[in-house]
Structures are given as structure tokens and as C-alpha cells.
Amino acid sequence: MIVSSTKPSIDRTLILKTAASSGALGAVDAQRIMKALCNPEIRANQVAALVGGDPALSLRVLRVANSAYYQQPRSITSIERALAVLGTDSMRGIAAAACLDRIALRSNKNAVVDMQALVRHSQATAAAAESLAMIRHPALASEAFVAGLLHNLGIAVQLILDPSGVKSMAESLKVDPTTDIRSLEALLVAVGHEECSAVIFEAWELPESLIAVARHHHDPIAAPHAHRDLTALIDLSATVARSAGFTFTLEPAPSVCKSSSMTQLGLTQDEVAAVTDSLQERIAILTRALLAA
């Protein structure tokens, strides 16, 4: 039985203070890099300089560029060449993956949420979103990949702000893994993970589309109309990821794909099933490509 807890509300200021001071998000580097890479007016030489100025990110870009995931016939040895071959969209995805990994590395190993499992779920959501987008909405594919990687970023802050509340959610989900996460958050925690993510993305001045996904990925119909397709992609892809076995503490069980998201995207059951069936193999390749250098 779930018992409602009485907790004070947590405002934007406290979310941002926690994100900035805890070190859990690598806030300074993540903000600078993601904001710049999401700027549609950024030039190729600026991207190269930005990535080249971060040795760890540079090494990762070259590692990923030469991985089986991108299947390049020749070895890529410079950031400029990697950018020419892969494009800014792929650079953005690699930077988002690095941001996600920093969360897992800095998180308490005794935390209620298994952050490594959350990272795998996020990677699977990203890969599924990219694949599903290519079927009907190819223009959204690269943005869907980034949105899938980052949509659960707020959980890291939620864990710090209200660890007892998150623990209560995890215990409730052990009893009934199918319980809706939003319903549990309304009962048991002081702030939802979607709101934490959205507040951080707003502070980073990321595109409105990514903010909408962060705030509404469990309820795409509530997203602004202009961003509803992208938000529905992440909602559907998170379900696909769980169905393929990529679950984590707060989303521990597969669930049925929402017909509303499938209708919004114009996708069929067979198309979604095909992406689900291929996801394990695709993630095995992606995981090897995204291993920290």
C-alpha cells in the first residue's frame, strides 16, 4: 500500500543550486558544451575548437567516430575530420552521451537508483528514438537521439533533493512494478524528475524542443503542439527500451506502448516491434562506441 507523504515543494532556485553545487551533473562543462552544440548558428570551426578544448571529449569523439557504430572505411584521426564525416548532429549526440556518463561516474554507488542501468536505459531510448524517427520523421532523428539520452537527467538531482522520497518510490515499485511513475512522484517526492530536467535545460538555454521533452515525456499530449512529435518519440522509445530489457530502478517493468503516441507518430505495431527486436544488438554496438576513453 502506498502512503502519501507530506513534503515541502521544491522551487527552481533549489533545483539549480543542487545541480550546480553537487557536482553530480558536471554542470559547467555540460552547460557550455551542450548549449553551444545546440545553437543552430554555430560554425564548424567553432565546434572543432569547442570539442578540441576538452581532451576527454576529443578522445571520445575519435573513439566513437572510428567505431563499428558509424562504419567508416578509413581511420579518423582529427576532430576536424570527425566533424566533416559525422556532422554536428553526431557531435551533439556524443557530447550528450559524455554528459550522461559523468552523471553515472559521480553518483553515489550506494544510491537508491542504479545509475549504470539508467544510463543503459537512456542509451536504448536514444537509439530507439533515432530508429523510429527515421521511419516517419527523419528530420527529428538526430534531435530524438539527444533527447532520449538526456530525458532522465533530472533523476540525478531528484536523488539529492529527496533521497527518502525516491527510496519510497523504489520500494513501492518492487511491490507493483507497473505503477505509473508520475502518480508515485505526486504521492511520495517533493519534485518530479521531469521538472528537474526541464529546469536544468532552461538554465542551460537548450532548445525549447528538448525542454518540452524533459517536462512532458510521460505525457506527450501535454507538450506544446510544435514539440509533440518529438515528445511522443521519447515516450514511445522509452517503452521500447523497457520491452527490450533496458529497465532501471524507477522503470523496472515493460509496459504497453501508448496508442496515442503511436497515432501521433503514424507508426504501426509491426514497425515498433521491428525496432524493439533489433535494439539489443544495436545497443551492444553503441555501448562499445560510447565507452569512456
* pLDDT tens for each residue of 99-125: 777 766 666 666 799 988 998 999 999
Phi and psi at residue 248, to the nearest 5°: -150, 180
Residue 166 contacts residue 189 (beta carbons within 8 Å): yes
- Supply φ then ψ for residue 74, to 5 degrees: -120, 155
Mean pLDDT (whole number) for 70-81: 84
What does pTM read for this prediction? 0.88
Domains and CATH numbers, the chain: 12-289 (1.10.3210.10)
Of 90, 9, 118, 69, which Cα lies nearest the Cα of 79?
Answer: 90
DSSP for 175-192 reads H-TTS-HHHHHHHH-SS-
pLDDT band at residue 3 under the 50/70/90 scheme: very low
- pLDDT 10s digits, 78-88: 988 888 888 88
Residue-wise pLDDT for 145-168, tens only, equals 989 999 998 998 898 889 999 999
